Amino acid sequence: MERDDRFSKDNLKRLVEGTLHWEEVKKAIRLSPKDSDRFWKYLEVLQERVPWNDKILLRISDHLYIVAKEGGGRVTKCDCGHEFGDYRINWKLGCQVYVRKTNEEIGEVVTIPEARHNTELVQMREFYCPGCYALLGVEVVPAGYPPVFEMLPDLDSFYGEWLGQPLPDESPDWFQDKTLEKPAEWVRG
């Protein structure tokens, strides 16, 4: 694909690092149409930032990526290298979990006492990467509420239909939520 330098890779790198000057950010916001090769530049920037070689297919949060494994398969992987397994299973089920249940525990992170949550009704769940202990997700939900799968991308449609670069292992099965397989496995012991 031809390079579209109206928004350069260097600027994108700075945007990812949070150091791009606001005036430059505004230019990016105003860019119309957007730079056509943004996604490919993004993948380059991201791949250069991680200490491993698995091919990044998509970034799904600050630390998490869906990567293609050399021997086949697509897994969720943290930039620290920890792998969460099949990306179709909610990665929260591969985390370390801490639940804030009391006013004091919630008060550690909701720093205005009057604005704290009602702990009779909700708890605050924190999901950490077991590799680096980065905080990956926070939920404020009632006890017993199923953990929320925040994002399941349709990777094959994205690469094949939108980008015109189909993935070699495309299959309709990739866009299926497989989360419930994990508790089914756990209950079997």
Partner 1 sequence: MGICYQGKTLAEVVDQRDTSFKESGYAYGLKELSLLDEDPAKFMRFQMRLVASCINARETAKLISANPMSIIQGELLFMLANAEGDVISTSYGLAGHIQCMPYIIKSIAELNFEDDPGINPGDIFSVNDALYGPAHNADCYTFLPIYHENELVGWTVGLNHIVDVGGIQPGGLGTISPSVFTDGFTYPPTKTGHNFKQEKWWDLHWKRRTRTEMFNVLDDKMRAAGIVSLHHMIQEVIEEFGVDYYRQAMKEIIERERRLMINRLKTMAVPGHYNWLQFKSVDYKDNLGRLWPASNRNWILHKPAELTVRTDGTLFTDMEGLTSEGEFHCNAYPSAVRMLTSLGIWPMFAYTETLNTALQYMTDWNLPPGSMFNPQNPWAATVMGLAEVGAVAYHYLRCLSYAYFSRGFLEETYPQDGAGCGYGVQGMLGDGFQWAGGDMALITCWGQGGKAFADGFEAAWCGPNPEPDQGEVELSEFLQPTQLNIGRNMITDFCGHGKYRSGLEIGMMQMINQPGQALIIATFSGTSGMGGAALGMCGGYPRSNDVIIYAHDTNIREVIDQGGHYPRDFVEMRQMIDDGTLKVGNMELFNCPTPSIPCGDGDLFASTSGSMGGWGDALERDYGLIEKDVKYGWISPECAKTVYGTVTDDSGKVDSQASDALREQMRNRRKERSVDAKEWWKQERQVVIDKKWHEDMHAMFVDNCKYEKFRNEFMGMWQLPEEYTF
What distance lies between CA 63 and its chain's CA centroid? 6
Site membership for partner 1, residue 146 (CB under 8 A): yes
In the complex, what is the shortest distance from the CB of residue 154 to partner 1, in angstroms, rounded to a whole number?
Answer: 4
Tokens at 158, concatenated: 């994205």
Give the β-pairing of 64-68 and 123-128. unpaired
Q: Does 68 bind partner 1 (CB under 8 A)?
A: no
Which one among 51, 71, 72, 144 touches partner 1, defined by CB under 8 A? 144
Residue 47 interacts with partner 1 (CB under 8 A): yes or no:
no
Please state, as a whole number, how many other Cβ atoms lie within 10 Å of the Cβ of residue 74. 20
Interacting residue with partner 1 among 75, 77, 86, 137 (CB under 8 A): 137
C-beta neighbour count of 45 within 10 angstroms: 18
**Which runs of consecutive H residues, i.e. helices, occur in 18-72?**
22-30, 38-49
* CB 132 within 8 Å of CB 78: yes
Shortest Å distance, C-beta 58 to partner 1: 5
Q: Does 2 bind partner 1 (CB under 8 A)?
A: no
Q: Which of 48, 53, 71, 112 binds partner 1 (CB under 8 A)?
A: 112
Interactions with partner 1, residue window 160-189 (CB under 8 A) = 161-162, 175, 177, 179-180, 183-184, 186-187
